Every structure is written in C-alpha cells, then in structure tokens.
Amino acid sequence: MNLAQRTRLVARPRRLRASAALRALVRETRINRDGLVQPLFVVEGSDVVQPICSMPGVNRYSVDAVVRECRELDAVGVRAVLLFGIPDAAKKDAYATINDDPSGVVQRAARAIKDALPQLLVIADLCNCEYTDHGHCGILDPTGDVDNDRTLEVLARTAVSYAHAGVDVVAPSDMMDGRVAAIRAALDEDGHTKTAILSYAAKYASAFYGPFREAAASTPAFGDRRTYQMDPGNAREALKEVRLDVEEGADIVMVKPALAYLDVLYRVRELTDLPLAVYHVSGEYAMIKAAAANGWIDEDRIVDETLTAMARAGADIIVTYFAKDYLRRTR
C-alpha cells in the first residue's frame, strides 16, 4: 500500500471545514441570540442622548430617550435590557437615600419601558455605588469600611421598589455577604414572588471596569473595592460565592468580567445547573472598539469569536454592549 492509499484510510477532519455550509452544519457552539442582554445607562432630564467617550457607540439616556432606544433594541431582536441609574450628583448622599425612591431614575425608566414594550425583559442592576457621594457599593461605618448588614437593608428596600416599578429581574452587584437571602426575603414578604434574582455571584475587583466608572460616575472618592469584590487570583473562592448565592435563592448566577475569567465561568458551569450569565464588561468592549478604530482587527469577526468563546465556556446569557449591533448584523 502506497502513501496515497494509506492516507485515504486516515480520518479527515478537514472534510468538514470545506465550506461555510459544512462548517455551520457541524458547529458545536452557537450564540444564544435570545440570551444577549443590552446594558443601558439612564440619567435625569429629557431628550438626553449623551455619548460616553471611552465607550464609542454607547450613550447615557434620559427616560424618554431610553424608551426610544428600547424600541430600536426590540426591533432588532434584543429580548432583555440591564438598567443602570445615574442620578444627579446633588441628590447623592452617604446613605444612598434615593436608591429606593419610587420616583428614582431606574424606577421611572422601568415603568416607561414596560408601558411601551411589555414584552421586553427589564433587569435592574442593584447596587449603591451610583447613589452614594463616596462611590462605594455600601453604607460606610465610622472607620470608612463598608457596613455589610446596613447595606443589606438598603438593597432589600431598593429591590422591592424596583419590583413595584415593574422590574422583572433584580441583579445585585455589590458583593455583600447574604444579600441574595435578604433580597429574596424582602421580595417575597412584599408579594413579589415572581421577581427573579440574577446574582453577580463572582464579581472580581477588576481593572476592566474603567470605562464603566466614567459612564456611571461611580469611581470611589477614596480607596477601592477590594475589600468586597473578589481577588483576581481566586477561582475556588468563586465557587464558594456561587454555592452560597444558590443556597440563598438566586435564580441566575453571573461571572464578571468575562474574557480574563473564562476558566472561572467554565468551573461554575460544572458546579450548577442554574442559568449562567457572564458580563462582557466596558473595558473589554473599549479595547475591541479602539483596536478596530485603528484598523488592527476586524471588529465583527472579533465580536463573533469573543461571544462564541463565552458561550463555549458555558454561558447561557451574555450581557454585552455589542448586543444590539450583533443582532442587527446577524439577523
């Protein structure tokens, strides 16, 4: 038997790569289009569409403008949005007093979106950093450290306020201990048993959040968030955090950021059968945009490859600033 004959007997994986149709036929991982979530920043005022310099293509919107944006998102197939409220600086204080205000910016936005587009799923980020004048995610004790249990009280009240406004899913991102249990108890006691909790279960103290802090005006006035967000070197700790949130009643768990933590995402996927989300954060978005603007990469191919990597690592849900553009381009 000559070499050509022997070669014909060997498996030929390349046969299945010969055309786009064949590659699509045997593709193992596909992006869940229904699982792409678009983050939105909501501010006070009217008819406000305010570009964010470090995140090209992303804006801050007033309530009326965010409804118009949601109509566009719905038209291209976005099924869910994640709201971040940015109140006027003059309204902030040390205790995040306005976070649970029924007339707060998130509450008004949620009501307006659900009135206009009842089919759109509204998720509200639940934290205090945008509402405190010091920029930390909780209420501070006299030493300047975050008081865990006092912060839980604010989170629980705010979750109920969001549910009253029509929010479908509350998403605590503060990384306080026991927050999922406190929020679940408060929601259930107030009759909001159908309001789901998407927990930022493994949220790392990451440098990838830089552009977001500009967008949300939430940079800490002093110190950093390393005493409550996770150390980037820890993976086993992430599994502990996820287990605790699952035991406390989380309906969905999330890993944040995405690309530098795909190994963590994969481990969490093996740990739980709950729906698993990942947040493709602002710094990851900005790096792609900057490299594409310089002509160094093909943006569309990079986005496709990046979202596929997250799905391949186990994500059912991907929160990404690319959701609208990806769905519009691939429909």
- pLDDT tens for each residue of 21-31: 999 999 999 99
Choose between 14 and 8: higher pLDDT.
14
- pLDDT tens for each residue of 256-276: 999 999 999 999 999 999 999
Average pLDDT over residues 152-178: 96
Provide the annotated active-site residues.
Answer: 203, 256
User: Which candidate, 206, 213, 238, places its Cα nearest to that of 127?
Assistant: 213
Instruction: Name the strand (E) or helix (H) holding 200.
Output: strand 196-203
21-28 LR contacts (CB < 8 Å, sep 24+): 28/312
pLDDT given at position 192: 98
pTM of the model: 0.94
CB 163 within 8 A of CB 169: no
Interstrand relation of 276-280 and 252-256 (parallel, antiparallel or unpaired): parallel
Domains of the chain: 31-330 (3.20.20.70)
Q: How far is CA 183 from CA 41, 81, 203, in A?
A: 23, 21, 18
How many percent of the chain have pLDDT more than 90?
Answer: 82
Q: How far is CA 152 from CA 137, 172, 317, in A?
A: 11, 10, 26
pLDDT given at position 9: 62
Handedness of CA 136, 130, 52, 35 (dihedral sign): positive
